Amino acid sequence: MAPDYEQFKKDILQLTGIDLNAYKERQMRRRISTLCTKYGFSDYHAFYQDLKVNPEHREQFMNYLTINVSEFYRNPMQWQILESKVLPELLQGRKSLKIWSAACSTGDEPYTLIMILKELFPQVQVKLRATDLDDKVLALAKEGCYPAKSLLNLPKNYVTKYFKKLPDGKYQLSREIMEAVEFQQHNLLADAYDSQYDLIVCRNVLIYFTEEAKLEVFKRFHRSLRPDGYLFIGSTEQILQARTIHFEPQYSFFYKKISI
């Protein structure tokens, strides 16, 4: 494929607001080239011209780029640490929690959080904001209808209590859980971050970012947390030299904000 990728990145930033420079280049180029070839284009320029005028291709491009895989209670052992260690600690002397589920995809993660809190800490008042770059996944999250495979790791009592099986085999989440989450579109690499969060959950997206972009996001998460607040990251992720950016690795995949 012709070496016009630099221009393609600029064009895509203008067209979609996505800065491909912040994503790991080899991985992104491979994904983009696959799609470009699939549509029958031999260079990035022709592909971009198509994306400009073809909303269907543009949508597929966005979906393909953002890798939306998610599931309820993904990596159960990490959720168990949240339940038994992190939440009790965050709730010491408090009756409310402000939480941000960043890059939440189809909502599996924020809804998991709400179910856990309802079951284990029913007296706590929760404000949960869930965001993603991709408005298509947010629309699915608001529908709250999931294939059975999304629920495989979720404790069975949660499935029975909070889902209704539909005739087509999918599972509809209850209103009670859906109404507890506020969904918003948000680009971690471009938009403003809110503050005073007790807990930020951001899993399985930073792996796609360059080291520089990742570091910048971690620093911004630090500013967004309240003192002693927690950042919960994905199972293949870690913060290198966490203490230099004032995070204390507390449990696997949980970092506590050290106040400066």
Ligand X SMILES: C[S@@+](CC[C@H](N)C(=O)[O-])C[C@H]1O[C@@H](n2cnc3c(N)ncnc32)[C@H](O)[C@@H]1O
Residues near ligand X (CB under 6 A) are 66-70, 74, 103-105, 108-109, 132-134, 137, 187-189, 203-205, 234
Of the two residues 9 and 74, which places its CB atom closer to ligand X in the complex? 74
Q: Widest CA span of the chain, in angstroms?
A: 61
3-state secondary structure 63-121: HHHHCCCCCCCCCHHHHHHHHHHHHHHHCCCCCEEEEEEECCCCCHHHHHHHHHHHHHC
Of the two residues 13 and 159, which places its CB atom closer to ligand X in the complex? 13
Selection from 31, 84, 78 nearest residue 237 by Cα: 78
The phi and psi torsions of 125 (rounded to 5 degrees) equal: -85, 125
Task: Give the shortest CB-232-to-ligand X separation in angstroms.
Answer: 10
Rg (CA), the chain: 19
Task: Give the shortest CB-74-to-ligand X separation in angstroms.
Answer: 5
Give the three-state DSSP class for 182.
strand
Task: Give the shortest CB-167-to-ligand X separation in angstroms.
Answer: 27
Of the two residues 11 and 109, which places its CB atom closer to ligand X in the complex? 109
Task: Give the shortest CB-260-to-ligand X separation in angstroms.
Answer: 26
What does the DSSP 8-state code read for residue 151? G
Of the two residues 2 and 15, which places its CB atom closer to ligand X in the complex? 15
Q: Residues 194, 80, 237, CA angle at the centre, nearest 5°?
A: 55
Selection from 214, 211, 210, 205 nearest residue 236 by Cα: 205
d(Cα 10, Cα 8) in Å, to the nearest integer?
5
Of the two residues 117 and 150, which places its CB atom closer to ligand X in the complex? 150
Of the two residues 91 and 189, which places its CB atom closer to ligand X in the complex? 189
The phi and psi torsions of 127 (rounded to 5 degrees) equal: -115, 110
Task: Give the shortest CB-154-to-ligand X separation in angstroms.
Answer: 13
Task: Give the shortest CB-153-to-ligand X separation in angstroms.
Answer: 11
Of the two residues 51 and 65, which places its CB atom closer to ligand X in the complex? 65
- Which residues touch 90 (CB under 8 Å, ≥6 apart)? 97, 198, 199, 228, 229, 230
Task: Give the shortest CB-230-to-ligand X separation in angstroms.
Answer: 16
